[in-house]
Structure 1
Protein backbone atom coordinates (compact mmCIF):
# COMPACT_ATOMS: atom_id res chain seq x y z
CA UNK A 1 0.00 0.00 0.00
CA UNK A 2 1.32 3.44 -0.89
CA UNK A 3 1.05 6.79 0.87
CA UNK A 4 -1.84 9.09 -0.06
CA UNK A 5 0.51 11.47 -1.86
CA UNK A 6 -1.09 13.88 -4.30
CA UNK A 7 -4.42 12.02 -4.32
CA UNK A 8 -5.48 13.78 -1.11
CA UNK A 9 -4.67 16.90 0.85
CA UNK A 10 -6.24 18.94 -1.96
CA UNK A 11 -8.11 21.32 0.30
CA UNK A 12 -8.62 23.92 -2.40
CA UNK A 13 -10.60 21.30 -4.34
CA UNK A 14 -12.57 20.55 -1.19
CA UNK A 15 -13.51 24.23 -0.94
CA UNK A 16 -14.27 24.67 -4.64
CA UNK A 17 -16.40 21.54 -5.01
CA UNK A 18 -18.28 22.18 -1.77
CA UNK A 19 -18.96 25.78 -2.78
CA UNK A 20 -20.12 24.81 -6.27
CA UNK A 21 -22.64 22.21 -5.07
CA UNK A 22 -23.86 24.29 -2.13
CA UNK A 23 -24.37 27.38 -4.30
CA UNK A 24 -25.98 25.24 -6.99
CA UNK A 25 -28.44 23.85 -4.45
CA UNK A 26 -28.99 27.34 -3.05
CA UNK A 27 -29.94 28.65 -6.50
CA UNK A 28 -32.61 25.94 -6.76
CA UNK A 29 -33.89 25.85 -3.19
CA UNK A 30 -33.73 29.59 -2.28
CA UNK A 31 -34.16 29.23 1.51
CA UNK A 32 -36.13 31.98 3.23
CA UNK A 33 -37.58 30.73 6.51
CA UNK A 34 -35.63 29.39 9.49
CA UNK A 35 -36.94 25.94 8.60
CA UNK A 36 -35.58 26.31 5.07
CA UNK A 37 -32.18 27.33 6.40
CA UNK A 38 -32.04 24.36 8.78
CA UNK A 39 -32.71 21.90 5.98
CA UNK A 40 -30.26 23.66 3.67
CA UNK A 41 -27.61 23.83 6.41
CA UNK A 42 -27.86 20.10 7.05
CA UNK A 43 -27.44 19.40 3.35
CA UNK A 44 -24.42 21.73 3.21
CA UNK A 45 -22.78 19.92 6.14
CA UNK A 46 -23.21 16.62 4.30
CA UNK A 47 -21.60 18.07 1.16
CA UNK A 48 -18.61 19.46 3.07
CA UNK A 49 -18.08 16.14 4.88
CA UNK A 50 -18.23 14.29 1.57
CA UNK A 51 -15.68 16.41 -0.29
CA UNK A 52 -13.40 16.62 2.75
CA UNK A 53 -12.92 12.86 2.40
CA UNK A 54 -12.99 12.83 -1.39
CA UNK A 55 -10.11 15.30 -1.77
CA UNK A 56 -8.86 16.23 1.70
CA UNK A 57 -8.29 13.38 4.14
CA UNK A 58 -9.46 9.79 3.36
CA UNK A 59 -10.66 8.96 6.85
CA UNK A 60 -12.76 6.00 5.74
CA UNK A 61 -9.88 4.46 3.77
CA UNK A 62 -7.52 4.87 6.74
CA UNK A 63 -10.04 3.38 9.14
CA UNK A 64 -10.81 0.38 6.90
CA UNK A 65 -7.33 0.01 5.39
CA UNK A 66 -6.50 -3.24 7.18
CA UNK A 67 -9.72 -4.95 6.08
CA UNK A 68 -9.55 -3.56 2.55
CA UNK A 69 -5.91 -4.51 2.03
CA UNK A 70 -6.46 -8.02 3.39
CA UNK A 71 -9.39 -8.73 1.09
CA UNK A 72 -8.28 -6.82 -2.02
CA UNK A 73 -4.45 -6.75 -1.80
CA UNK A 74 -3.93 -5.73 -5.43
CA UNK A 75 -5.84 -2.47 -5.11
CA UNK A 76 -3.95 0.71 -4.29
CA UNK A 77 -6.49 1.95 -1.76
CA UNK A 78 -4.87 5.37 -1.46
CA UNK A 79 -5.22 6.14 -5.15
CA UNK A 80 -8.03 8.62 -5.68
CA UNK A 81 -10.12 6.33 -7.91
CA UNK A 82 -10.16 3.70 -5.16
CA UNK A 83 -12.44 5.93 -3.13
CA UNK A 84 -15.22 4.63 -5.39
CA UNK A 85 -15.57 1.70 -3.02
CA UNK A 86 -18.52 -0.13 -4.65
CA UNK A 87 -16.72 -0.47 -8.01
CA UNK A 88 -13.43 -1.44 -6.35
CA UNK A 89 -14.95 -4.04 -4.05
CA UNK A 90 -16.99 -5.61 -6.86
CA UNK A 91 -13.93 -5.79 -9.10
CA UNK A 92 -14.79 -3.14 -11.67
CA UNK A 93 -11.67 -2.98 -13.85
CA UNK A 94 -12.45 0.01 -16.05
CA UNK A 95 -12.48 3.68 -15.05
CA UNK A 96 -14.80 3.89 -12.00
CA UNK A 97 -16.21 7.19 -13.30
CA UNK A 98 -17.99 5.11 -15.94
CA UNK A 99 -18.96 2.32 -13.57
CA UNK A 100 -22.58 1.37 -12.81
CA UNK A 101 -22.62 2.94 -9.35
CA UNK A 102 -21.17 6.20 -10.62
CA UNK A 103 -23.75 6.39 -13.43
CA UNK A 104 -26.52 5.60 -10.96
CA UNK A 105 -25.25 8.38 -8.72
CA UNK A 106 -25.44 10.86 -11.60
CA UNK A 107 -29.05 9.85 -12.22
CA UNK A 108 -30.00 10.28 -8.54
CA UNK A 109 -28.18 13.62 -8.17
CA UNK A 110 -29.66 14.98 -11.39
CA UNK A 111 -33.16 13.85 -10.39
CA UNK A 112 -32.75 15.48 -6.99
CA UNK A 113 -31.70 18.86 -8.38
CA UNK A 114 -34.45 18.71 -11.01
CA UNK A 115 -37.08 17.95 -8.36
CA UNK A 116 -35.94 20.78 -6.09
CA UNK A 117 -35.93 23.25 -8.98
CA UNK A 118 -39.34 22.34 -10.39
CA UNK A 119 -40.94 22.12 -6.95
CA UNK A 120 -39.65 25.56 -5.97
CA UNK A 121 -41.18 27.10 -9.09
CA UNK A 122 -44.62 25.66 -8.30
CA UNK A 123 -44.37 26.60 -4.62
CA UNK A 124 -43.28 30.16 -5.43
CA UNK A 125 -46.18 30.60 -7.89
CA UNK A 126 -48.67 29.25 -5.35
CA UNK A 127 -47.38 31.49 -2.57
CA UNK A 128 -47.60 34.57 -4.79
CA UNK A 129 -51.23 33.70 -5.52
CA UNK A 130 -51.98 33.07 -1.84
CA UNK A 131 -52.91 29.43 -2.41
CA UNK A 132 -51.52 26.01 -1.69
CA UNK A 133 -49.16 24.31 -4.13
CA UNK A 134 -50.84 21.25 -5.61
CA UNK A 135 -49.45 21.31 -9.15
CA UNK A 136 -46.29 19.79 -10.61
CA UNK A 137 -44.44 17.60 -8.09
CA UNK A 138 -46.86 18.71 -5.36
CA UNK A 139 -49.61 16.80 -7.15
CA UNK A 140 -47.72 13.58 -6.39
CA UNK A 141 -45.90 14.19 -3.09
CA UNK A 142 -46.31 16.78 -0.36
CA UNK A 143 -42.58 17.42 0.22
CA UNK A 144 -40.75 17.22 -3.12
CA UNK A 145 -37.91 19.53 -2.09
CA UNK A 146 -36.99 17.40 0.91
CA UNK A 147 -37.18 14.31 -1.29
CA UNK A 148 -34.87 16.08 -3.75
CA UNK A 149 -32.25 16.65 -1.05
CA UNK A 150 -32.44 13.00 -0.02
CA UNK A 151 -32.00 11.87 -3.64
CA UNK A 152 -28.89 14.05 -4.02
CA UNK A 153 -27.35 12.72 -0.82
CA UNK A 154 -28.19 9.14 -1.79
CA UNK A 155 -26.53 9.73 -5.16
CA UNK A 156 -23.32 10.92 -3.52
CA UNK A 157 -23.38 7.93 -1.17
CA UNK A 158 -23.64 5.53 -4.10
CA UNK A 159 -20.74 7.28 -5.82
CA UNK A 160 -18.38 7.84 -2.87
CA UNK A 161 -19.54 6.24 0.41
CA UNK A 162 -17.77 7.29 3.60
CA UNK A 163 -18.31 6.31 7.20
CA UNK A 164 -19.18 9.88 8.18
CA UNK A 165 -21.71 10.51 5.42
CA UNK A 166 -23.22 7.06 5.92
CA UNK A 167 -23.73 7.95 9.57
CA UNK A 168 -25.09 11.40 8.70
CA UNK A 169 -27.56 10.19 6.07
CA UNK A 170 -30.20 8.55 8.33
CA UNK A 171 -29.92 11.42 10.79
CA UNK A 172 -30.57 13.94 8.03
CA UNK A 173 -33.48 11.91 6.65
CA UNK A 174 -34.97 11.85 10.15
CA UNK A 175 -34.42 15.61 10.45
CA UNK A 176 -36.16 16.24 7.13
CA UNK A 177 -39.08 14.08 8.25
CA UNK A 178 -39.39 16.15 11.43
CA UNK A 179 -39.20 19.39 9.49
CA UNK A 180 -41.91 18.09 7.17
CA UNK A 181 -44.20 17.28 10.10
CA UNK A 182 -43.63 20.75 11.56
CA UNK A 183 -44.36 22.31 8.19
CA UNK A 184 -47.54 20.29 7.83
CA UNK A 185 -48.75 21.48 11.23
CA UNK A 186 -48.32 25.07 10.07
CA UNK A 187 -50.13 24.36 6.80
CA UNK A 188 -52.99 22.64 8.60
CA UNK A 189 -53.36 25.60 10.97
CA UNK A 190 -53.40 28.05 8.07
CA UNK A 191 -55.49 26.20 5.48
CA UNK A 192 -57.67 23.94 7.62
CA UNK A 193 -59.88 21.50 5.72
CA UNK A 194 -58.20 22.26 2.40
CA UNK A 195 -54.95 20.93 3.80
CA UNK A 196 -56.67 17.87 5.27
CA UNK A 197 -58.19 17.02 1.88
CA UNK A 198 -54.82 17.46 0.21
CA UNK A 199 -52.97 15.34 2.80
CA UNK A 200 -55.61 12.62 2.53
CA UNK A 201 -55.03 12.15 -1.21
CA UNK A 202 -51.33 12.97 -1.75
CA UNK A 203 -48.58 10.95 0.01
CA UNK A 204 -45.83 12.76 1.91
CA UNK A 205 -42.68 11.36 0.31
CA UNK A 206 -43.29 8.39 -1.99
CA UNK A 207 -45.33 9.31 -5.08
CA UNK A 208 -48.36 7.43 -6.29
CA UNK A 209 -48.83 6.24 -9.86
CA UNK A 210 -51.11 9.06 -10.95
CA UNK A 211 -51.09 12.79 -10.29
CA UNK A 212 -54.04 14.13 -8.33
CA UNK A 213 -55.59 17.55 -8.21
CA UNK A 214 -56.88 18.07 -4.67
CA UNK A 215 -57.98 21.37 -3.20
CA UNK A 216 -55.46 24.18 -3.25
CA UNK A 217 -52.84 23.76 -0.53
CA UNK A 218 -49.21 24.50 0.43
CA UNK A 219 -46.39 22.12 1.28
CA UNK A 220 -42.61 22.48 1.46
Structure 2
Protein backbone atom coordinates (compact mmCIF):
# COMPACT_ATOMS: atom_id res chain seq x y z
CA UNK A 1 0.00 0.00 0.00
CA UNK A 2 1.48 3.32 -1.10
CA UNK A 3 -0.70 5.67 0.94
CA UNK A 4 0.94 8.09 3.33
CA UNK A 5 0.69 6.93 6.94
CA UNK A 6 0.64 10.41 8.42
CA UNK A 7 -2.54 11.86 9.82
CA UNK A 8 -3.78 15.06 8.20
CA UNK A 9 -6.61 16.09 10.53
CA UNK A 10 -6.86 18.84 13.09
CA UNK A 11 -5.60 21.29 10.46
CA UNK A 12 -8.14 23.99 11.19
CA UNK A 13 -6.17 26.63 9.34
CA UNK A 14 -6.71 24.58 6.15
CA UNK A 15 -10.41 24.29 6.95
CA UNK A 16 -10.66 28.08 7.13
CA UNK A 17 -8.37 28.69 4.14
CA UNK A 18 -10.14 26.28 1.79
CA UNK A 19 -13.61 27.39 2.90
CA UNK A 20 -12.78 31.06 2.36
CA UNK A 21 -11.06 30.45 -0.99
CA UNK A 22 -13.84 28.36 -2.51
CA UNK A 23 -16.62 30.55 -1.12
CA UNK A 24 -14.91 33.69 -2.42
CA UNK A 25 -14.25 32.00 -5.77
CA UNK A 26 -17.93 31.10 -6.12
CA UNK A 27 -18.99 34.56 -4.90
CA UNK A 28 -16.90 36.23 -7.61
CA UNK A 29 -18.88 34.31 -10.24
CA UNK A 30 -22.35 34.22 -8.71
CA UNK A 31 -22.61 37.82 -7.42
CA UNK A 32 -25.81 37.45 -5.35
CA UNK A 33 -28.08 40.46 -5.28
CA UNK A 34 -31.52 39.47 -4.05
CA UNK A 35 -32.46 37.78 -0.79
CA UNK A 36 -33.16 34.65 -2.82
CA UNK A 37 -29.64 34.77 -4.29
CA UNK A 38 -28.06 35.09 -0.86
CA UNK A 39 -30.15 32.22 0.46
CA UNK A 40 -28.97 29.89 -2.28
CA UNK A 41 -25.37 31.02 -1.90
CA UNK A 42 -25.50 30.62 1.87
CA UNK A 43 -26.66 27.03 1.54
CA UNK A 44 -23.82 26.29 -0.88
CA UNK A 45 -21.34 27.91 1.51
CA UNK A 46 -22.61 25.77 4.39
CA UNK A 47 -22.04 22.66 2.30
CA UNK A 48 -18.43 23.71 1.65
CA UNK A 49 -17.71 24.45 5.31
CA UNK A 50 -19.11 21.05 6.36
CA UNK A 51 -17.02 19.36 3.67
CA UNK A 52 -13.69 21.00 4.55
CA UNK A 53 -14.31 20.54 8.26
CA UNK A 54 -14.26 16.78 7.75
CA UNK A 55 -11.57 16.88 5.08
CA UNK A 56 -9.00 18.66 7.24
CA UNK A 57 -10.48 19.21 10.70
CA UNK A 58 -12.37 16.36 12.35
CA UNK A 59 -13.22 13.20 10.31
CA UNK A 60 -16.63 12.57 11.88
CA UNK A 61 -17.75 10.21 9.12
CA UNK A 62 -14.62 8.06 9.50
CA UNK A 63 -15.07 7.80 13.27
CA UNK A 64 -18.76 6.92 13.04
CA UNK A 65 -18.28 4.29 10.35
CA UNK A 66 -14.89 2.96 11.49
CA UNK A 67 -16.17 -0.43 12.78
CA UNK A 68 -17.94 -1.08 9.48
CA UNK A 69 -14.97 0.11 7.42
CA UNK A 70 -12.51 -2.05 9.34
CA UNK A 71 -14.76 -5.09 8.97
CA UNK A 72 -15.33 -4.87 5.23
CA UNK A 73 -12.10 -3.14 4.20
CA UNK A 74 -9.37 -4.53 6.48
CA UNK A 75 -5.75 -3.52 6.19
CA UNK A 76 -6.47 0.17 5.61
CA UNK A 77 -5.33 2.89 7.99
CA UNK A 78 -8.56 4.89 7.92
CA UNK A 79 -7.12 7.80 9.90
CA UNK A 80 -4.81 9.01 7.12
CA UNK A 81 -5.84 11.79 4.78
CA UNK A 82 -5.57 9.60 1.67
CA UNK A 83 -8.04 7.12 3.15
CA UNK A 84 -10.62 9.88 3.42
CA UNK A 85 -11.14 9.41 -0.32
CA UNK A 86 -13.60 6.67 0.56
CA UNK A 87 -14.75 5.71 -2.92
CA UNK A 88 -11.19 5.09 -4.12
CA UNK A 89 -10.51 2.95 -1.06
CA UNK A 90 -13.68 0.94 -1.50
CA UNK A 91 -12.82 -0.04 -5.08
CA UNK A 92 -9.31 -1.06 -4.03
CA UNK A 93 -7.41 1.89 -5.50
CA UNK A 94 -4.08 1.86 -3.68
CA UNK A 95 -2.14 4.42 -5.72
CA UNK A 96 -2.36 8.16 -5.11
CA UNK A 97 -6.12 8.79 -4.66
CA UNK A 98 -5.83 12.12 -6.47
CA UNK A 99 -5.34 10.11 -9.67
CA UNK A 100 -8.19 7.71 -8.96
CA UNK A 101 -11.26 7.51 -11.24
CA UNK A 102 -13.67 9.14 -8.79
CA UNK A 103 -11.26 11.97 -8.01
CA UNK A 104 -10.65 12.67 -11.71
CA UNK A 105 -14.40 12.70 -12.39
CA UNK A 106 -14.81 14.95 -9.36
CA UNK A 107 -12.26 17.43 -10.71
CA UNK A 108 -14.07 17.51 -14.07
CA UNK A 109 -17.45 18.14 -12.43
CA UNK A 110 -16.14 20.82 -10.06
CA UNK A 111 -14.27 22.60 -12.85
CA UNK A 112 -17.26 22.33 -15.17
CA UNK A 113 -19.60 23.61 -12.48
CA UNK A 114 -17.47 26.67 -11.79
CA UNK A 115 -17.18 27.30 -15.55
CA UNK A 116 -20.97 27.17 -15.87
CA UNK A 117 -21.34 29.51 -12.90
CA UNK A 118 -18.90 31.97 -14.47
CA UNK A 119 -20.49 31.76 -17.92
CA UNK A 120 -23.99 32.34 -16.54
CA UNK A 121 -23.34 35.67 -14.86
CA UNK A 122 -22.59 37.99 -17.85
CA UNK A 123 -25.80 37.25 -19.82
CA UNK A 124 -27.86 37.48 -16.64
CA UNK A 125 -26.25 40.79 -15.69
CA UNK A 126 -26.83 42.24 -19.16
CA UNK A 127 -30.46 41.09 -19.15
CA UNK A 128 -31.10 42.61 -15.72
CA UNK A 129 -29.45 45.87 -16.76
CA UNK A 130 -31.55 46.06 -19.93
CA UNK A 131 -34.75 44.89 -18.14
CA UNK A 132 -35.24 41.92 -20.45
CA UNK A 133 -35.37 38.14 -20.26
CA UNK A 134 -32.02 36.33 -19.95
CA UNK A 135 -32.02 33.83 -22.82
CA UNK A 136 -28.45 33.91 -24.17
CA UNK A 137 -25.29 32.03 -23.20
CA UNK A 138 -26.09 29.10 -20.88
CA UNK A 139 -29.63 30.50 -20.55
CA UNK A 140 -30.18 29.58 -24.20
CA UNK A 141 -29.80 25.91 -23.24
CA UNK A 142 -31.31 25.68 -19.74
CA UNK A 143 -33.42 28.02 -17.61
CA UNK A 144 -31.48 27.69 -14.33
CA UNK A 145 -27.77 27.33 -15.15
CA UNK A 146 -26.52 28.87 -11.90
CA UNK A 147 -28.47 26.45 -9.72
CA UNK A 148 -27.35 23.57 -11.94
CA UNK A 149 -23.76 24.75 -11.47
CA UNK A 150 -24.08 24.65 -7.68
CA UNK A 151 -25.52 21.11 -7.78
CA UNK A 152 -22.80 19.88 -10.14
CA UNK A 153 -20.06 21.34 -7.93
CA UNK A 154 -21.53 19.77 -4.80
CA UNK A 155 -21.91 16.38 -6.50
CA UNK A 156 -18.29 16.62 -7.63
CA UNK A 157 -17.16 17.20 -4.06
CA UNK A 158 -19.27 14.25 -2.89
CA UNK A 159 -17.42 11.96 -5.30
CA UNK A 160 -14.10 13.27 -4.05
CA UNK A 161 -14.79 13.24 -0.32
CA UNK A 162 -18.17 11.82 0.77
CA UNK A 163 -19.28 12.52 4.33
CA UNK A 164 -22.45 11.71 6.23
CA UNK A 165 -23.26 15.39 6.71
CA UNK A 166 -22.78 16.42 3.09
CA UNK A 167 -24.63 13.33 1.88
CA UNK A 168 -27.56 14.38 4.07
CA UNK A 169 -27.31 18.01 2.97
CA UNK A 170 -27.12 17.29 -0.75
CA UNK A 171 -30.76 16.21 -1.40
CA UNK A 172 -32.00 18.98 0.89
CA UNK A 173 -30.05 21.58 -1.09
CA UNK A 174 -31.16 20.14 -4.43
CA UNK A 175 -34.79 20.45 -3.27
CA UNK A 176 -34.12 23.99 -2.08
CA UNK A 177 -32.66 24.98 -5.46
CA UNK A 178 -35.65 23.39 -7.18
CA UNK A 179 -38.01 25.53 -5.08
CA UNK A 180 -35.93 28.65 -5.73
CA UNK A 181 -36.06 27.91 -9.45
CA UNK A 182 -39.84 27.60 -9.30
CA UNK A 183 -40.07 30.90 -7.42
CA UNK A 184 -37.91 32.58 -10.07
CA UNK A 185 -40.17 31.22 -12.80
CA UNK A 186 -43.25 32.66 -11.09
CA UNK A 187 -41.54 36.05 -10.87
CA UNK A 188 -40.44 35.87 -14.52
CA UNK A 189 -43.95 34.95 -15.65
CA UNK A 190 -45.29 37.95 -13.80
CA UNK A 191 -42.63 40.20 -15.34
CA UNK A 192 -42.45 38.89 -18.93
CA UNK A 193 -45.74 37.05 -19.46
CA UNK A 194 -46.06 35.28 -22.81
CA UNK A 195 -42.39 35.84 -23.59
CA UNK A 196 -41.36 33.73 -20.63
CA UNK A 197 -44.02 31.11 -21.35
CA UNK A 198 -42.56 30.67 -24.83
CA UNK A 199 -39.08 30.50 -23.32
CA UNK A 200 -40.22 27.75 -20.92
CA UNK A 201 -41.66 25.76 -23.81
CA UNK A 202 -38.47 25.96 -25.84
CA UNK A 203 -35.83 25.73 -23.09
CA UNK A 204 -35.54 22.89 -20.54
CA UNK A 205 -35.21 23.72 -16.86
CA UNK A 206 -32.00 21.88 -16.00
CA UNK A 207 -31.04 19.26 -18.62
CA UNK A 208 -30.15 20.71 -22.03
CA UNK A 209 -31.44 19.12 -25.21
CA UNK A 210 -28.92 17.64 -27.62
CA UNK A 211 -30.45 19.77 -30.37
CA UNK A 212 -30.53 23.53 -30.19
CA UNK A 213 -33.73 23.75 -32.17
CA UNK A 214 -36.33 26.12 -30.80
CA UNK A 215 -40.04 26.15 -31.38
CA UNK A 216 -40.91 27.28 -34.88
CA UNK A 217 -43.19 29.90 -33.46
CA UNK A 218 -41.23 33.03 -32.61
CA UNK A 219 -41.39 34.23 -29.04
CA UNK A 220 -43.16 37.45 -28.32
CA UNK A 221 -41.03 40.35 -27.24
CA UNK A 222 -39.68 39.50 -23.77
CA UNK A 223 -38.76 42.95 -22.61
CA UNK A 224 -40.57 44.46 -19.67
Are 1:36 and 2:37 matched, yes or no? yes
8 Å CA contact 1:8, 1:56 repeated in 2:
yes
TM-score, L = length of structure 2: 0.93
- Report the counterpart of residue 75 of structure 1 in structure 2: 76
RMSD: 1.5
Answering whether residue 197 of structure 2 is matched by residue 196 of structure 1, we say yes
Within the alignment, does 1:142 sit opposite 2:143 as a pair? Answer: yes
Which runs of 5 or more structure 2 residues have no equivalent in the other structure?
none
Map of 1:19-168 to 2, 5 A cutoff?
19-168=20-169
Q: Gapped runs of 5+ residues in structure 1?
A: none
Aligned to 2:78, what secondary structure does the other structure show? coil
Q: TM-score, normalised by structure 1?
A: 0.94
Is contact 2:51–2:163 with CA below 8 Å preserved after alignment?
A: yes
**Runs of 4 or more consecutive aligned structure 1 residues displaced over 3 Å after TM superposition:** 212-218
Per the alignment, residue 177 of structure 2 pairs with: 176
Deviation at 1:131, TM superposition (A): 1.1
Please say if residues 7 and 79 of structure 2, whose CA atoms lie closer than 8 Å, have aligned partners that are also in contact. Answer: no
Q: Is the 8 A contact 1:14 1:52 kept in 2?
A: yes
1 CA distance for matches of 2:130 and 2:59?
Answer: 49
Residue number in structure 1 paired with 2:12: 11
Paired residue secondary structure (2:200): helix
- Report Cα offsets for 1:2-24 as digits up to 9, x if no partner: xx974211111000000000000
